[in-house]
Amino acid sequence: MNSIRTGEWQKLAVSLAELSLDTTLRCGQSFRWKKLNEDEWTCSLRGRVISLKQDPKQDPNHVLYKVTWPSNSPLTKLSSSGKGVKVEDDSTKDDTEALLRHYFNLEPNLTELYERWSMADPNFKKRAPKFTGVRILKQDAWEALVGFICSSNNNIARISQMVNNLCLSYGPLIGHVHDQPFHDFPTPESLAGPEVESQLRKLGFGYRAKYLARTAVIVSKEKPENWLESLSNTEPFDETEWKTLKPGGRPGYRKSHEELLALQGVGPKVADCVCLMGLGWGESVPVDTHVWQIAQRDYKFGKGKHKSLTKATYDAIGNHFRLLWGEEAGWAHSVLFAADLRTFAIRLTEKTEVQEELQIKAESEDGVIVQATTVVKKREAIREETIKEETTDDLNVVFSTTAKRTRRR
């Protein structure tokens, strides 16, 4: 493909503790990043294609990024001819680093936040160490809205596939990376046509087709220009103090949440996802089935008044976490959510292995004789446990066992 040019790899100064690409991009916040070439994350963002790499062993203090501009961009020349080019004016200035800092929401000091949450909450302290660098993204609000409308009764793999189909059909092509086409995310206007619902049904959206089509019309035609963006949090992040906030969150958050609820296919959970990941309201706590399980298992919900996940229980859980974790409760919630995802289950055992190795090494240095066979046996035992667990899970799916499998630990 000669329609585009690709630039060189550039450094973005951000440590592994502040941002883990693998965890942040796979935890179900965004549905558009593709992993190519084993370790390269790629996605189109604001008219360009961005690839990211992070090598924890080689350089834990940087993320590498590479930009691919469409051939009609004035920046194509700039990025293809390397570093020696003089930047003449704003139209030829590559703002990708600023874009990445904004998108990955890099201002809050995540390390400090983890410390605060650990101080306030023993359960967080226990689970977070294996899931450092989980950040809340500042995604485009419209994209977040569409993605999470698709998320109902759905899984991450299929949501990603649906969003991909949406971009292929309605988003302008930007270019190819590793022979993969990358399209921009479609605008609300482009999804407001009369044929959109039936088209989306053909693309496999199911009942969500109507929600998306209706929402696109409302956003592009019935609401004022920039309505969605106007719901964003504009307060600068303040890390100097752990603010005491009202249990229900700030007025701006409550208003945004309420406004979003008026849209088709947007209930409390989806509205909170958009508030948190698209509009910058850090106190927003989306309570889905996962979080509901966590709240029951670790925070004593599921009894008495809050026996089932009703609207009242939903609000109570959010309030509880806001009081416990403070103004960025949604960030902390996301860490525990990631720690509970099946996608990352294997990581828990891997880390255990490493810890055991270190422990044994330490014992050896103290003069205690340790036989190698002991280490090997322990590792194998852990592997078997993991496989057994996954097998059991598969069987449950196949035979549709009625009893819910109780979670380990």
Partner DNA sequence: CATTGACCTCG
Partner DNA sequence: GAGGTCAAT
Residues recognised as catalytic:
269
Nearest residue to 103 via CA among 23, 25, 170? 25
At its nearest, how many Å lie between DNA and the CB of residue 192?
18
CB 264 within 8 A of CB 214: yes
State the distance between the two ends of the chain, measured CA to CA, in whole angstroms. Answer: 51
Query: Can you state the angle between helices 268-277 and 251-261, rounded to 10 degrees?
Result: 130
Q: Quick check: 164 binds DNA (CB under 7 A)? A: no
Nearest approach, Cβ of residue 203 and DNA (Å): 9
Shortest distance in whole angstroms from residue 155 CB to DNA: 4
Give least dist CB 200 to DNA, A. Answer: 10
Taking 3-state DSSP, the helix, strand and coil percentages for the chain, each rounded to the nearest 5, stand at 50, 10, 40
3-state secondary structure (DSSP) of residue 12 = strand
Q: Does 269 bind DNA (CB under 7 A)?
A: yes
In the region spanning residues 8 to 47, those forming contacts with DNA, defined by CB under 7 A, are 27-29
Taking the C-alpha atoms of residue 339 and residue 20, their distance in angstroms, rounded to an integer, is: 13
Residue 400 in contact with DNA, rule: CB under 7 A: yes
By C-alpha distance, which of 360, 382, 354, 358 is closest to 372? 360
| 165 to 41, 168, 197, 311: CA distances (angstroms) | 19, 5, 14, 33
Outline where DSSP puts E strands in 186-279.
Answer: none
Q: Which is nearer to DNA, 316 or 348 (CB)?
A: 316
- Tell me the C-alpha distance between 150 and 31, whole Å: 10
CB of residue 319 vs DNA: minimum separation in angstroms?
Answer: 14
Contact pick of 23, 151, 220, 284 for DNA (by CB under 7 A): 151
Distance (Å, whole) CA 154 – CA 262: 22
Q: Which stretch binds DNA (CB under 7 A): 65-73, 96-104, 204-212, 357-365?
A: 204-212
Residue 248 interacting with DNA (CB under 7 A): no
Closer to DNA by Cβ: residue 1 or 397: 397
Which residue do the tokens 């585009």 mark?
A: 4
Q: Does 210 bind DNA (CB under 7 A)?
A: yes
Residue of 123, 161, 169, 319 interacting with DNA (CB under 7 A)? 161
**310 contributes a contact to DNA by CB under 7 A:** yes
Asked if 290 is part of the footprint of DNA (rule: CB under 7 A), the reply reads: yes
Nearer to DNA, 108 or 267 (CB): 267
Tokens of 117: 């949450």
Asked if 252 interacts with DNA (CB under 7 A), we say no
Binding test (CB under 7 A) with DNA, winner from 208, 250, 257, 320: 208
Segment contacting DNA by CB under 7 A, of 39-47, 137-145, 150-158, 184-192: 150-158
Using rule CB under 7 A, residue 391 touches DNA: no
Which range binds DNA by CB under 7 A, 151-159, 222-230, 321-329, 383-391?
Answer: 151-159
The two three-digit tokens of residue 82, written as one number: 């390397």
Site membership for DNA, residue 288 (CB under 7 A): yes
Q: Give me the least distance between CB of 160 and DNA, in Å please.
A: 10
Residue with tokens 């959010």: 318
How far, in Å, CA of 180 to CA of 6, rounded?
Answer: 14
Instruction: Count the site residues for DNA by CB under 7 A.
Output: 45
Distance CA 302, CA 306 (A): 5
Q: Report how far residue 315's alpha carbon sits from residue 313's, in angstroms, rounded to the nearest whole number.
A: 5
**16 or 137: CB nearest DNA:** 137
Task: Give SS3 for 34.
Answer: strand
Burial class, 27, CB count within 10 angstroms (exposed 0-12 / middle 13-18 / buried 19+): buried
> Between 24 and 79, whose beta carbon lies closer to DNA?
24
Which position has the token pair 């066992």? 401
153 binds DNA (CB under 7 A): yes
Closer by beta carbon to DNA, 192 or else 275: 275
Of 13, 98, 312, 354, which one interacts with DNA (CB under 7 A)?
A: 312
CB of 301 to DNA, least distance (A): 13
Residue 107 C-beta: closest distance to DNA, Å: 22
Does 273 bind DNA (CB under 7 A)? Our answer is yes
Nearest to 204 by CA among 251, 171, 238, 157: 157
Write out the residues near DNA by the rule CB under 7 A.
Answer: 27-29, 151-158, 161, 201, 204, 206-208, 210, 261, 263-271, 273, 286, 288-290, 307-308, 310-312, 337, 341, 397, 400-402, 404
